Structures are given as C-alpha cells and as structure tokens.
Structure 1
C-alpha cells in the first residue's frame, strides 16, 4: 500500500524558525518541541513539533495509567512501565506505516525521569522527593510537523489527514499576531541545595567510597531553585538562543513545563542500529581564541578526563551488549572534543545492532539511566547518590525523546534541564568524581556547565 498521502511537504518559508511556528501551541497540554536549536553541530538537523496526542501514559508510585484522550478511556496497571508503554505503543500503531527517511514516523514521545530507575532496580529512599512529576510521561502522536534544517524543507506527518489538524495549526499561525509569550522572570535569587562547605563534605564522602572500592566513579550534583512568574516558554526561548544545544526540548503538561538545553544524546536507534554518545570531561571556554584553543587542548590531553570517559564507555558497552547482537558493539570514536557556547566536552561514540527479538523499549530499559550521569558500577553509584544528594533528581539525568512505530528512537540525557512547576523552577549541575578529582575544580565545574542558564534567568 502506498502511504505517501500520510506525509506531505509544506509550503512554509525555508528560513522560518521552528520555535515561531511552535509558539502557537506552546501553552497547550501535551505540546512537545524536540528542537535542534539551530545549532552548528553534527547531530543538529531535525525539529519535531507535536501537539494533541491520541493517548497519554504516566507512571508514578508503581502505577502506570493510560488514557485514550479521544475516547475518554483510562486504565491502570502495576506491570513494568516499560512493558505497559510498549503495549500501548503497539495497540495504537496504524495498520500501515509511513515510508519516509524522516527521523519520526509517529509513536511515543515524552520524558523518563532519573527516578524511573526505581522501576528497574531496588534503590534506597532517603533523598527528599519534592517535585511531583510522573517518572514516565509519554504521549502517543499520530501527527507532527517536522523541519529538515539541512534541506530547509518542512513536512507534515498525519495518519488522519481528514481531521485537518495540520491545516488548523497553520491557520492559527497565520492568524497569530506574533506577540511574544508572557515574559518569564525570577522573583527570588537562585538557591542551591548545598553550600560550598556541604559540597566539600559530600566530596570527601565520595572520595572515601572510591578509596574503599565501592565505585570507580560517582556523579555528584547540586540543585538550584528559584521562584518565578510568567511563562516557561519565554524562558525556553531565552535559553535556546544562548545555548544552541542540539538535543533541546520543551514539553508542556497541565501543571508543569520541562525545559531541556541538552548537549548530549543518550540512545539512538535507526533500523535496529544503536548509537550512544556519552559526555564525560568538561572545561570552560576561553575568553580569547588563543585561550579557548589552549583549553580545548588541555581537555583533549587530560589523562584524568580520558580515564573518566573510558570508564563510562565501558559501562555503556556493557549496557547495550545486553540487547545487542554478539560482536556488534563497537567504539568508532573515542575522546572527541565538541564545543558549545560555554564549555568544551569530551565525547565518545558507541554503536551496536539490536538482536532480532529486541526493540527500542528493551534497549532503553537495559541502559537506564545513562551511565554518564551515574557512575560506575551503576547501581552502587546510584545508591551513594541517593545517600548524598538532599533531593531526588526528578527529570535531571533522565531522558527526553521518541520511540516511533518503525522501532526507531532518539533520546537525550536531561542535563542542562529545568522543571517549572507551581511557581518554582529547578535546575541542576553536577559531574563525575574519580579518586584524583580536585574538590574546588569539580565544584566550579558545576557552575561552568550552568553559566549559560543561571545568569541568563537571574533575578533582575
């Protein structure tokens, strides 16, 4: 069957910013923007704009709830949430799928918080859980608008074109007055959940665990919180412009917004081929071109950062090997340096090929949460994180992305990510600690990573 009528090219200006088109739905519950942010980066190509899902799945406190939004039907399950998500995904799959080279062909899109790990592993419960987000939030979307930033072309994907959903979106855009979103402003200063002295104390506890042989590496993060008023979409636009991160995203729900300015891919699947690109190793950008090049060279030659990066490469190789064909896992790129507006990062690439009987949901579960933001060995590192960090991580160090009906997937690691909820906005910064880490350097690195976020949204 020819399904070309389910996808069409849109007559939109090639220079139209995707964020401008998304802005007309940005306040809608279920609106999602997977955004390459006009970044000059090898992975920055497609923008995916989504609204009005067919169904929604949420997982919290051991219960997975599914709701068919058009049929007003809800159900609950205590099964593994990854299995429930896979079942709903399959149940709503069209009988025939679009044939396209575009990255997304309809399917599941949303977030997976760091705390979703509790559905996989038995972890202690000592840190305060004060951000009440679902640990998994997925919408099932059978339509989308997609921009290919390489060819400067726009596409509409719609399995129910008679509903004229894309046409209504475009009409709304044409009729919009192009007024900016309600402004976003902090009404308090950012407040960290640990002082420098607290961080130093926790750093020494990490070193003790490393010395005892509990772990080779442990990620330690601090959280920053402020009060705000206004629209989170306006905050996203500010951060998007300053950071230009290739794995950015904005997600709106009924009572919360998630803003992700992530530079890091977690897992990608294309035709059963797997790729992951962990970041481990960071240095601030220099104030001049000469200084910037010196910083980049320093990171590239850093034996500490190479060792740290290699630990996570080995961890991820092990994780994806659980669901990949024997002998297919490779490391084609090791210790590459990638540059972003505020920092340089050391990035490696691991690839593999899924077993015939495994799919993207299996891969995500096998690798979750990402090793680059836990430590190694993963489970022990997560136990120590729960002990030392005052608050649960929520969305931080989880993932945002899609799994489409063809079996393809692309997700980020939710670093440089904020939650805006109930007039509070939260943001995190952290890093991997090894035995020869320096406390002051690691503490300052958390601020380097947020140097294009916290000051940008500072209280006026």
Structure 2
C-alpha cells in the first residue's frame, strides 16, 4: 500500500469529534418517495478487486491496516457518525485539471462535479492559492425549483420530492444528524460536504410578500434555484507541500456494523485512488495561447435588453433615487454568445485570462458554471463570519509606477469611495444580524487589491456567530449582498424585479462549499459564465460536421451600480466592458482548441 503515496494510514490517533451534533433543531416535512431506475452503488463506486493488493502487501502494510481499523473503530465508538478515510499522495504527476478529467469524462458534461482553484490577492498582485479541490459523483443531490425540492439519494437509489417554504432548510436539516470526526492531519481546506450554487432568486424564500416568485421577471431558462451535491469523495491538492489528500467520508448510519463501514469505506477509497492512479490518463490538448489575455473579448451584441432599453431603465432608477426611494441600485443585463468551445476548455482559458480567489468549474443540473469571482459572499470558519465588500474599480497600469498612480486616483474618487462605504455599512448590517453583540468589526477598510485587469477597493467585516445559529443563517442573512442589489436592499430588489426583464439565476447569487464540519465558503457569483445544458432550454444545438463539436450558448451577465449622478451611456458601457472582459476566455478557447482543429 505504501506504493500509492506518501502515507498509508487511514485515520490518525490525533482525531477528535465535535463537542455536539451540528445544528440546533429539526423540521418535519411530509414527502413522497419514489425509486428511480439505476444501480447507484455500482455506477458510483465500481467494484475493485477486493483486497488482493493488501494480501500481497508486506507484513508492515498488513500491520498498518490492522492499526487503521482499530483507530476507525475507536473513532466510531467515541460518538462520531461521519468518519474520513484518506491517503496522502505525491501530486507531482497530477494537476487539479487533469485529476478532474480523470474523474469526469469529456462526454459526461451533465454529471454533477466540481473543480475549485484560487489565487490569493495582495497589494502587489496575485500568487497561487495553496489549495485546489476536485470532486465528482455526489452521494446525494438537492435540486430546488421555487418551493419544490427533489432529493436524489444515489446511495439508496431513491428520489424524494417535497414542497417546502424554504428549500435551504433541507440541507441544513440533513446536517443536523451529522457528528463528524475531525482529523488534524487533513488540510485546512474544504475536505468534503455540500457543493453547488444558490441563485439570486433564493431571496424570495425569505421575502415572500415583497419579492414573491409570481412577481419576478421572466424565467426563460428554467434553471434550478438551488443545486447542491453531497460529496463524500474529494481530492485536495496542497500546492505548497506538493501533495494531495484523497479523501472518502464514511456515513456509519448507512452500514450494519462498524466493521462493514470500515471495509466498505476502504474499498471506496481504493477505488477513488485507482481512478487517478491506474486509469489511462486522459489527453488534454496543450494548445497555443495565440491571443493577448489582457485585451477585451469580441463585442457581445446579443443581450436581454437593447442599449436603449437598458439606458431607459437607468433613467427610471435615477427617478427613484432622486425621490428618496433608494440610494443605489445595481441594474444588470444578460449577454449571450454562441461558441464551439467546450465549457471545460473555456474554464482552462479563463484561468489564465482572469485568475481570481474563486475559480470554479461546476457541472450542475441544467447548466455548467465557469467562474472567476473575486468576492466572498459569506465565509464561516470556526464560527467566525467574514463578509468582504468589493466595490470601486479602476484599470491596471502597464507598470508598477502607473499602478500606484491609478491606485491613488481610485482612493481619491469621492463617488466610488462613498459607494464603497455604503456597501460596507450593508455588510456590517448583514453580519450583525447573526453575530454576538459587540463582535462585529471592520478589520480592513478600503484596501486596494490588484487583479489581472483591474484594481478594486476592498474591506473586510467580521463577526462571531450566535451560539444557536449555524452557517446557513449567515448565508441567509447575506444573500444577496448589497454589491449586487443596492440600498436599501429589499426596496432595491423590488425595483430590480420591475426594471430587469429576465430572472438572474446563478448570477449575483453564490457558489461554493459547506463542509461536513459546518464551515462555509461561498463566493459571489460574478464573472460567471453560464452554459445551459438542460433539454428544457429552448435551443437546438448544432454541430461542426467533421468532429461533432457541440455548439454552446454562453451567458454573461453584468451590472452597474446606479446612483443619482449616473450617466446612462457610461453604465451601459460598463456592462458591455465587464461582459467583454469575460468573453475573452472564449476567444482564447476558440483560437486554441477549436480553430486549431481546422
């Protein structure tokens, strides 16, 4: 077993369990249960050749396996019902992009799965983030469309449908039965749990009277409002120590005995390892980056609103501002573009065009999300809440000297600074709703962060979560944040329903992960390309004749913050520029992967 990697232990003596089960209550919901036709265990975890390798292993490996089993049993009997098994391997032969393709074939574009990567921002620019995470084949999915929720339990082969007031309570309630064992040796990153997205329209679950679904704009894509997958299997890359953690979480409640749980868990972990060690490595086209990554992309001429319609919406918004109805509002429009570039190829291009803290390739139900978001929606880590408003923008300079000059221009722009302070106040309010009295703090105020194309003003607001609340309460308080809605928030969103012509969907909602331990890291869904995949979307796909490349429709949504002195032409141009900057990834993907095949 040592041949597989750096270490062959499954669970370390340095474990401990949470002091209490996650959560503080439960809800009872009537449901209808039906079984869908599949063989989930065989499909999700193909059988491996039992323990032939273990039987042929040297005595030291057999002894280690016996010790591992004893530790697993000890952890289970100490009250934990969710136990991680893992291997730590060298990753010098494997990248996150390649690992994802090992787990998810190119033709499995609708298979729920994810790839998280990041770069860290600072005053001097960016550096590669320490961790990347890959996951595929969730054990369970939660899909919500308005108030109807479908729970797809792939372990049991069962589908449950529920009508609930707030679908976000469903995963929260499931988590209340978990008591995960914590392993000190696992990385300080997302190591398994829920992954997915929450649309902008989830605010309607709370603001039922002022923002009902019945008064929302046209829903022309019919995408889910919530999609979450429960990932028991993940691979976490540590780019500093050059190793990867291959992790499988065992749910003891699904097994008849601890011994059965351990043996089944080992098989699944070995299967996960085999999929990145023993499979034929998929071919990823290297391509050639022929276009400048700095320039804007091809202009986007197809939008949910004409230029005149958008500018008219800006003028109507300004009337409400001048009347004292609101102080600010963010009005967006959705651009679209056809492309023969595959969404995964676009993600590979976006990684070099716009490296950001939250780079994500997410295959969900009905769509693929390709994102490079710079902004936290909400983060909860060890009960500390973080909200990070990002507002105020100026282009990057061509030299360090020009960067510093532009940075000072940005900080001296009274309009942009005033807007930023307003959004910091909204962030303090959101954090304060769920934080202990006296713990809300603005840790950083008006710092400048440099990204690939622009610089932003950022601030950091923190608080300590109330004892009787969970990360789900923090998410509910923040979603959607003021940087994508306006102030006052609810009234601004009422006007967005009046002035925008289509539902936003994932745009300006959030995507990310909620760990088994109750930590949460959700990014704001900006700089996000949505590729619809569902058959219910009213588009006939076309193909290139010689290689049957599918034609995709890419959606780019972008908005502008409207205040009293906003110029409609400037706001329209801002939306176009934001979308065109994102579209540059498609230009590069097409020139690299598509045109090169001709």
Give the TM-score normalised by structure 1. Answer: 0.91
2:273 is equivalent to residue 167 of structure 1? yes
Residue 331 of structure 1 aligns to a residue in which SS?
A: strand
2:453 is equivalent to residue 363 of structure 1? no
2:197 is equivalent to residue 102 of structure 1? no
Residue 435 of structure 1 aligns to a residue in which SS?
A: coil
State the partner residue of 1:111: 197
Residue range with higher mean Cα deviation, 291-300 or 385-394: 291-300
Offset of 1:361 from its aligned partner?
Answer: 0.7
Assess if the C-alpha contact under 8 Å between 1:420 and 1:426 holds in 2.
yes
Q: 1:440 to 1:327 in 2, by over 3 A?
A: same
Assess if the C-alpha contact under 8 Å between 2:300 and 2:335 holds in 1.
no
2:578 is equivalent to residue 429 of structure 1? no
Q: 1:90 to 1:165 in 2, by over 3 A?
A: farther
Offset of 1:278 from its aligned partner?
Answer: 1.4
State the partner residue of 2:76: none
2:237 is equivalent to residue 132 of structure 1? no
Q: 2:581 aligns with which of 423, 437, 452?
A: 452
State the partner residue of 2:115: 33
Q: 1:247 to 1:187 in 2, by over 3 A?
A: closer
Residue 452 of structure 1 aligns to a residue in which SS?
A: helix
1:60-111 residue CA offsets vs partner (Å, 9 max, x unmatched): 02111111112111212222212111122344x3653444442223211110
State the partner residue of 2:353: 242
2:235 is equivalent to residue 145 of structure 1? yes
Offset of 1:365 from its aligned partner?
Answer: 1.0
Q: 1:25 to 1:403 in 2, by over 3 A?
A: same
1:140-198 residue CA offsets vs partner (Å, 9 max, x unmatched): 112211112333332122123321242132136x5224233999xx9996512223322
**Larger Rg computed on CA atoms:** 2
Residue range with higher mean Cα deviation, 104-113 or 447-456: 447-456
State the partner residue of 2:329: 218
Q: 1:57 to 1:383 in 2, by over 3 A?
A: same
Q: Which runs of 5+ in 1 are unaligned?
A: none
1:315-337 residue CA offsets vs partner (Å, 9 max, x unmatched): 12111211111110100111111
Q: 2:171 aligns with which of 85, 91, 95?
A: 85
Give the TM-score normalised by structure 2. Answer: 0.71
1 CA distance for matches of 2:300 and 2:220?
19
State the partner residue of 1:24: 102
Assess if the C-alpha contact under 8 Å between 1:30 and 1:252 holds in 2.
yes
State the partner residue of 2:422: 311
Q: 1:158 aligns with which of 227, 245, 248?
A: 248
Offset of 1:287 from its aligned partner?
Answer: 4.5
2:106 is equivalent to residue 7 of structure 1? no
Residue 7 of structure 1 aligns to a residue in which SS?
A: strand
Assess if the C-alpha contact under 8 Å between 2:101 and 2:282 holds in 1.
no
Offset of 1:347 from its aligned partner?
Answer: 0.9
State the partner residue of 1:257: 368
2:524 is equivalent to residue 413 of structure 1? yes
2:123 is equivalent to residue 44 of structure 1? no
1 CA distance for matches of 2:411 and 2:275?
46
